[in-house]
């Protein structure tokens, strides 16, 4: 089944996804500590040895949490956890937004839309309304919250922001990813998939600007695609109970990457590239099976996936924020123009979201924004 894709004609004026900003919280848990907790909390679990082996094989060295582990392990109720989400989001999002705007050479007043993604907390009105009221964005800023795409939402947000900028030439869209996966810990969920997730997911906030004028340093977005694997809607999902979100993971999930690889390769080929020969691969850090599939079934060299492996090792799977941290690591290597690359996210549905583009370097925007900051009264405070 072909992917639903969209391609713009190459050239100047295409939207540019500027270098992201990423922040992780201060509380750290190592893999060794995770394994010790699993042994202590689930000493009588009939499949404990399997769970321990799976956690050891995740490739995660450490993860960052918004609260100390003793608070994380206590279930204080769905309502309290959601209040923690709101409080922590309002504290941790602003500095990341400031950095992302600086990376794009823009101010809050230059932003025409905010695309917010999260699958770990719920707010209505959305955090976007709070940002507009408190962080200096214009009152006519378009709000686009995306709440139910899980880990695929990072790439989806990039694509929806690009859509907005193409539809409104010259517009700018800010993407914010706020993922506090530790708030979804459920102490009574003892299935293997849940116990594995307890050693895989971490917390992070990320932000990035898509500039519609084609300026900025980052990825010039040239094509996008979406694909749902038929018959897998219940394979990655939340079961919503009085106690909150309960993560469910089907044992067939690891094999889905093999099934979707032909669509991924065809998408890249349709844009005139070879997946294995792209200059950078920003792949969602869903786990080692995801990254291994790019190598074994996609022909991508192991070293080409180094940035994704580094994010997985350092932060674990931080859901929709993952692709932004991988892209941040790509940016640190300063790819030469016109390096071509792909951004890929996978999540519930099972959904694959893809974006393809080329690296551009344009530091001019930052100096222009510095001058505007002196004369614009509003901005992120």
DSSP string, 196-231: HHTTTB-EEEEEEEEETTS-SSEEEEEEEEEEE-TT
Report all structural domains of the chain as residue ranges with CATH numbers, in order of start: 4-11+217-362 (3.40.47.10), 16-211 (3.40.47.10)
Q: In this predicted structure, what is the pLDDT of residue 5?
A: 54
Q: In this predicted structure, what is the pLDDT of residue 363?
A: 82
pTM equals: 0.92
DSSP designation for 73:
T
Place of tokens 């790819």: 335
Closest to 318 measured CA to CA, from 197, 147, 221: 197
Counting Cβ atoms within 10 Å, is residue 61 exposed (0-12), middle (13-18) or buried (19+)? middle
Per-residue pLDDT of the chain in tens (381 residues, 90 and over written 9): 445 555 544 445 799 999 999 999 999 999 999 999 999 999 999 999 999 999 999 999 999 999 999 999 999 999 999 999 999 999 999 999 999 999 999 999 999 999 999 999 999 999 999 999 999 999 999 999 999 899 999 999 999 999 999 999 999 999 999 999 999 999 999 999 999 999 999 999 999 999 999 999 999 999 999 999 999 898 888 889 999 999 988 888 878 888 899 999 999 999 999 999 999 999 999 989 899 999 999 999 999 999 999 999 999 999 999 999 999 999 999 999 899 999 999 999 899 999 999 999 998 554 444 444 443 333 443
Distance (Å, rounded) from C-alpha 250 to C-alpha 231? 12
Q: Is 151 a catalytic residue?
A: yes
Annotated active-site residue in 151, 178, 181, 237:
151
Q: Token digits for 160?
A: 């929806």
Helix (H, G, I), strand (E, B) or coil at 270: helix
Exposure string (b/e) for 137-150, b if CB count within 10 Å is 16 or more?
A: beeebebbbbbebb
Angstrom CA distances, 17 to 49, 295, 344, 366, stand at: 43, 26, 14, 14
Q: In this predicted structure, what is the pLDDT of residue 12?
A: 54
15 in Cβ contact with 221 (< 8 Å): yes
């Amino acid at each position: 089944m072909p992917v639903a894709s969209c391609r713009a004609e190459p050239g100047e004026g295409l939207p540019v996804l500027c270098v992201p900003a990423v922040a992780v919280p201060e509380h750290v848990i190592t893999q060794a500590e995770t394994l010790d907790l699993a042994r202590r909390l689930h000493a009588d679990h009939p499949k404990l040895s399997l769970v321990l082996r799976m956690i050891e094989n995740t490739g995660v060295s450490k993860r960052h949490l918004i609260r100390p582990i003793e608070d994380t392990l206590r279930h204080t109720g769905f309502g309290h956890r959601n209040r923690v989400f709101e409080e922590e989001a309002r504290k941790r999002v602003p500095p990341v937004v400031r950095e992302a705007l600086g990376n794009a050479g823009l101010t809050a007043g230059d932003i025409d839309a905010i695309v917010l993604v999260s699958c770990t907390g719920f707010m209505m009105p959305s955090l976007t309304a709070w940002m507009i009221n408190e962080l200096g964005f214009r009152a006519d800023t378009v709000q686009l919250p995306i709440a139910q795409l899980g880990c695929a939402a990072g790439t989806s947000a990039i694509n929806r922001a690009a859509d907005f900028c193409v539809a409104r030439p010259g517009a700018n869209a800010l993407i914010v990813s706020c993922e506090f996966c530790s708030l979804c810990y459920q102490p009574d969920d003892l299935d293997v998939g849940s116990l594995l997730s307890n050693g895989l997911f971490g917390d992070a906030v990320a932000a990035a600007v898509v500039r519609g004028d084609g300026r900025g340093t980052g990825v010039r977005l040239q094509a996008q695609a979406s694909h749902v694997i038929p018959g897998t809607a219940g394979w990655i999902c939340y079961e919503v109970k009085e106690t909150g979100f309960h993560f469910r993971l089907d044992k067939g999930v690891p094999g889905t990457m093999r099934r979707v690889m032909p669509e991924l390769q065809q998408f890249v080929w349709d844009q005139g590239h070879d997946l294995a020969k792209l200059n950078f691969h920003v792949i969602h850090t869903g786990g080692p099976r995801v990254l291994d599939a790019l190598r074994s079934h996609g022909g991508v060299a192991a070293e080409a996936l180094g940035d994704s492996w580094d994010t997985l090792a350092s932060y674990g799977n931080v859901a929709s924020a993952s692709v932004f941290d991988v892209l941040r690591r790509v940016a640190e290597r300063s790819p030469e123009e016109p390096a071509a690359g792909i951004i890929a996210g996978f999540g519930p549905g099972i959904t694959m979201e893809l974006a393809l583009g080329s690296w551009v370097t344009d530091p001019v925007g930052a100096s222009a924004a510095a001058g505007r900051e002196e004369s614009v009264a509003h901005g992120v405070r």
